[in-house]
A = this chain, B = another copy of it.
Amino acid sequence: MSFSRFLDDAQGRVEAVLAAALPTDCSPSRELSDAMRYSVLGGGKRIRATLIYATAETVNCELTTVDPAAAAVEIIHGYSLIHDDLPSMDDDDLRRGKPSCHVAFDEATAILAGDALQSLAFELLAHPHEQLTAEQRCAMVTTMATAIGVQGMAAGQAIDVAASALGLDITGLERMHRLKTGALIQACCRLTAIAGGAGAAALTALDNYSAQLGLCFQICDDILDVTASTDQLGKPNGSDDARQMPTYVTLLGLDGARQAAEHCSQKALEALTEFGPEADTLRELVRFQLERAH
C-alpha cells in the first residue's frame, strides 16, 4: 500500500472512532459538547493517529486494538491546541482554517472543552477492550498521564509561554519541544508497543525513533511557519515571529533548520534498523514530514 493511501485510511479510520467517542447533543451541556466536537472533528492531519497505526503494523498489532489509543492521542492533541490558543497563552484566533475554540464559543467554554477532552481520553484508554488486558489498559493510562502532565506536555507549554521572555538557546528550545510536542509523539509509539506486547528491544528502538521524529516534526513546523501561507497552514503564518518566539529558523537560519531536520530524520531512520519491511510505513512517515518543509 502506498503511504498516501495509508495516510488517507488512517485519517478516515480515526475520524470515525472520534465521531463515535465524542459526546453528542444529548449531553447535559450542549455548548460544551459542541465545542468538543468542533475542536476535534473535521480537521488536522492526524499525524499522531497515523503514527499509532503505522507502529501497530510494525509490532504486528491489529488496528482495532489501538483504535481507542489513536482517538485518545488526537483528543489530547485537540485539548492542548484549545488551551494553547487561549488569549493568556499564544492568543491565536485561527486554527485548522477556522476560528479557534475560544473565538467560535467563548473563553470559559474553551477551557472546559479542553478539560473535558482530557478526561475523555483517559476514559477511552481505560475502557474494557476484548483484545487488551486490564494490565495493558492501566499501563496505557499511566503512559499517557506521564506524557502530558508536569513531566511532559504541560511543562513544555509552561516553558513555551515563558520562552520569549527567557530567550531560549538551541538546547533550551530542543528541551522545550521534547516536552511540548515530543512527549505525546513518543507516547503514540509506547501506547502501541504496550497494546501489541512488544519486547524491550522494540520499545527502545521505537522510543529513539519517535524522539527524533518529534524533533523533525517541530523543526519542519518552524520552517513552514515562515515559508508557507496562512491558507496552507490553517493558522496565521509568521505567528512565531510576531510573538518574538525563538524557533529553529530564528536560531539556526532557514538552511540551518533544514539541515537539522535532515539530521533528525536520518537518526529516526537509523533507529529502525532492527526492523524489516514491517517498519516501512514508519520510514515513509519520516520522509513525509521532511517533504513538508521543502
**Chain A: residues with CB nearer than 8 A to chain B?**
23, 27-29, 31-33, 36, 83, 86, 88-89, 106-109, 111-112, 114-116, 118-120, 122-123, 125-128, 133-135, 137-139, 141-142, 144-146, 148-151, 154-159, 161-162, 175, 179
Contact = CB atoms under 8 A, between A and B. Distances in A.
Contact of A149 (B108, B116, B141, B142): B116
Contacts of A88: 106-108, 111
A250 B36 CA distance: 33
Contact of A123 (B109, B125, B134, B145): B145
A36 B150 contact: yes
Report the copy number of this chain in the oligomer: 2
Contacts of A115: 83, 114-115, 118, 148, 154
B128 A111 contact: no
A23 B152 CA distance: 12
B29 A119 contact: no
Contact of A119 (B112, B116, B145): B145
Contacts of A118: 115, 118-119
10 contacts: A23-B150, A28-B151, A29-B155, A29-B158, A36-B150, A108-B158, A112-B157, A112-B158, A116-B154, A123-B146
B127 A134 contact: no
Contacts of A32: 150, 154-155, 158
B114 A127 contact: no
A258 to B, nearest CB: 28
A141 B118 CA distance: 12
A41 to B, nearest CB: 14
B83 A111 contact: yes
Contact of A134 (B29, B83, B133, B154): B133
A89 B116 contact: no
A125 to B, nearest CB: 8
A48 B142 CA distance: 23
Given A89-B108, A155-B29, A158-B109, A126 B114 contact: no
B155 A27 contact: yes
B126 A145 contact: yes
A180 B33 CA distance: 16
A126 B142 contact: yes
Nearest to A90: B108
Contacts of A83: 111-112, 115
A122 B109 CA distance: 23
Contacts of A133: 134
A116 B122 CA distance: 13
Instruction: Give the residue among A36, A123, A144, A175 with the most B Cβ atoms within 10 A.
Output: A123
Contacts of A120: 145, 149-150
Given A23-B150, A116-B154, A141 B161 contact: no
